[in-house]
Amino acid sequence: MLATAHWDDPETVIDAQRMVSEKASMMGIDVKSLKPEELLQVRGV
Protein backbone atom coordinates (compact mmCIF):
# COMPACT_ATOMS: atom_id res chain seq x y z
CA MET A 1 0.00 0.00 0.00
CA LEU A 2 2.84 2.36 0.84
CA ALA A 3 4.53 1.87 -2.53
CA THR A 4 1.22 2.37 -4.34
CA ALA A 5 0.45 5.59 -2.49
CA HIS A 6 3.95 6.96 -3.11
CA TRP A 7 4.63 5.52 -6.57
CA ASP A 8 6.39 8.73 -7.64
CA ASP A 9 8.91 8.66 -4.76
CA PRO A 10 11.59 6.04 -5.53
CA GLU A 11 13.04 6.08 -2.00
CA THR A 12 9.65 5.31 -0.45
CA VAL A 13 9.06 2.51 -2.95
CA ILE A 14 12.45 1.00 -2.08
CA ASP A 15 11.70 1.27 1.65
CA ALA A 16 8.32 -0.40 1.14
CA GLN A 17 9.91 -3.22 -0.83
CA ARG A 18 12.43 -3.81 1.97
CA MET A 19 9.56 -4.14 4.48
CA VAL A 20 8.00 -7.02 2.54
CA SER A 21 8.87 -10.48 3.75
CA GLU A 22 8.97 -12.91 0.84
CA LYS A 23 7.96 -15.73 3.20
CA ALA A 24 4.83 -13.83 4.24
CA SER A 25 4.03 -12.60 0.74
CA MET A 26 1.15 -14.01 -1.20
CA MET A 27 2.43 -16.52 -3.71
CA GLY A 28 1.02 -16.59 -7.22
CA ILE A 29 -0.71 -19.57 -8.79
CA ASP A 30 0.12 -20.66 -12.32
CA VAL A 31 -3.15 -20.73 -14.22
CA LYS A 32 -1.92 -23.84 -16.05
CA SER A 33 -2.01 -25.75 -12.76
CA LEU A 34 -5.74 -25.09 -12.23
CA LYS A 35 -8.42 -27.59 -13.14
CA PRO A 36 -11.09 -26.38 -15.59
CA GLU A 37 -13.70 -26.25 -12.80
CA GLU A 38 -11.42 -23.95 -10.77
CA LEU A 39 -11.18 -21.35 -13.53
CA LEU A 40 -13.46 -18.34 -13.43
CA GLN A 41 -13.55 -18.12 -17.20
CA VAL A 42 -12.37 -20.40 -19.98
CA ARG A 43 -11.09 -18.52 -23.01
CA GLY A 44 -10.58 -19.74 -26.52
CA VAL A 45 -12.83 -22.76 -26.14
Break the chain into its structural domains and give their ranges: 1-26
Using CA of residue 10, residue 20, residue 34, residue 39, what is the dihedral sign? negative
Give the residue with greater pLDDT, 34 vs 45. Answer: 34
**According to the model, what pLDDT value does residue 15 have?**
92
Half-sphere exposure for 31 (CA within 13 Å, toward CB): 5
CA dihedral angle for residue 31, residue 34, residue 35, residue 38, rounded to 10 degrees: -90
Give the model's pLDDT for residue 44.
65
pLDDT for the residue 10: 95
| Per-residue pLDDT tens digits for 7-43 | 999 999 999 988 887 777 778 889 889 998 888 877 6
DSSP 1-42: -HHHHTTT-HHHHHHHHHH--TTTSPPP--GGGS-GGG-S--
- pTM of the model as a whole: 0.47
